[in-house]
Copies of this chain bind each other. A is one copy, B any other.
Amino acid sequence: RALTIGLIPGDGIGKEVIPAGRRVLEALPSSLGLKFDFIDLKAGWETFEQTGVALPEETVQTLQSCNGGLFGAVSSPTTAVKGYSSPIVALRKRLSLYANVRPVKSVATAAKPIDMVIVRENTEDLYVKEEKTYDTPDGKVAEAIKRISQRASSNIASIAGEIALRRQKIRAAGNPSIHKGPLVTVTHKSNVLSQTDGLFRVAAKEALSNPKFESVKVEEQIVDSMVYKLFRQPEAYDVIVAPNLYGDILSDGAAALVGSLGLVPSANVGKTFAMGEPCHGSAPDIQGQGISNPVATIRSAALMLEFLDEEEAAAKIYAAVDANLEEGKLLTPDLGGTAKTEEVIADILRRL
């Protein structure tokens, strides 16, 4: 099977880690029968500075004809810059990548084993970015719209349910696991936002009441108490589903549990396309030192393959990464090691 993969390194360490993802995919055993074509694409702050556009139309169109993609990271300005808007947020919308999936898993040697997946709605909520500012006698006031639809809420909950079932299968196949039952925890703040988060809550629960999810237990948590519980009893969770912004916050929180953002992959998933994206940002502070952690990107490449139904290839990559982490000899500084990016990549390639 031939797979065309768009590569968007973006800014900062995105440029250092995306090549790692590419090399790992290229090094997969030929017995898997996969052939990759890679296309280099532009997006981000540097692209904006060069061309006046953060997400060139060509990037979007090329990706539309790809099977999958790998997105590095972009540096976004913290203040509004005319004409600039985050390319990753735009890409998720333009390519209808309606689910953001972030598995958070500690290595076997961790003090507290963690194994959960955060499933984040990826297209609406406050990310519709409909904002306005007006003047009042008391100064400026700005408003943003938080939009929640029954349809997107229902879709994302179904994906969460499917992931819970898939994890159950993986467990049944003898893999070590922490939480036993397939469980989806619906996160919201409907005690305050009774209409928007109330709709998310009801639509999600309705979707999960479908007979195909009969074996899946459904629970709910208010987002503030979800963050609290995430830290107090992470072992109690399996799949957590949330609207866009809470999902963004929860997935960084969950990443903190496993030691470094440099370990945590994500995938932006649509009906026929998946784009891997490491959870860390562009980290300009460490750029150019050759010490960025390639693991999140390598795992993101595997996660992308999972959603392209290449589970065997994905499993091979995960195993190579886990072996590297479990041995613990070649780790980048964010994990307390002294290895260079290049050494970690070489070690993982060797184990493939």
Contact = CB atoms under 8 A, between A and B. Distances in A.
Per assembly, the copies of the chain total: 2
Given A78-B201, A194-B79, A252-B227, A146 B126 contact: yes
A245 interface: yes
A222 B249 CA distance: 10
Interface residues of A, number: 65
Interface in A53-105: 76-80, 86, 89
A30 interface: no
A175 to B, nearest CB: 27
Interface in A270-288: 281
A265 to B, nearest CB: 16
Nearest to A246: B249
Contacts of A151: 138-139
Contacts of A256: 227-232
Contacts of A150: 138-141
Interface stretch (A108-116, A129-137, A208-216): A129-137
Contacts of A338: none
A199 interface: yes
A232 B231 CA distance: 12
Contacts of A249: 223-224, 227, 249
A138 B149 contact: yes
A77 B176 CA distance: 38
Interface string A210-246: 0000000000101111011111100000000000010
A4 interface: no
A192 interface: yes
A231 B231 contact: yes
B140 A79 contact: no
10 contacts: A78-B198, A80-B195, A80-B198, A126-B146, A138-B150, A144-B195, A145-B146, A227-B227, A227-B249, A227-B252
Please name the 8 residue pairs, one residue from A and one from B, whose CB atoms are nearest each other, closest first.
Answer: A139-B150, A80-B194, A131-B195, A231-B256, A224-B252, A76-B191, A140-B150, A228-B252
Interface of A: 76-80, 86, 89, 126-127, 129, 131-133, 136, 138-151, 154, 188-196, 198-199, 201-203, 220, 222-225, 227-232, 245, 248-249, 251-253, 255-257, 261, 281
Given A144-B148, A227-B253, 9 more contacts: A78-B198, A79-B198, A131-B195, A139-B151, A139-B154, A139-B203, A144-B146, A228-B253, A229-B256
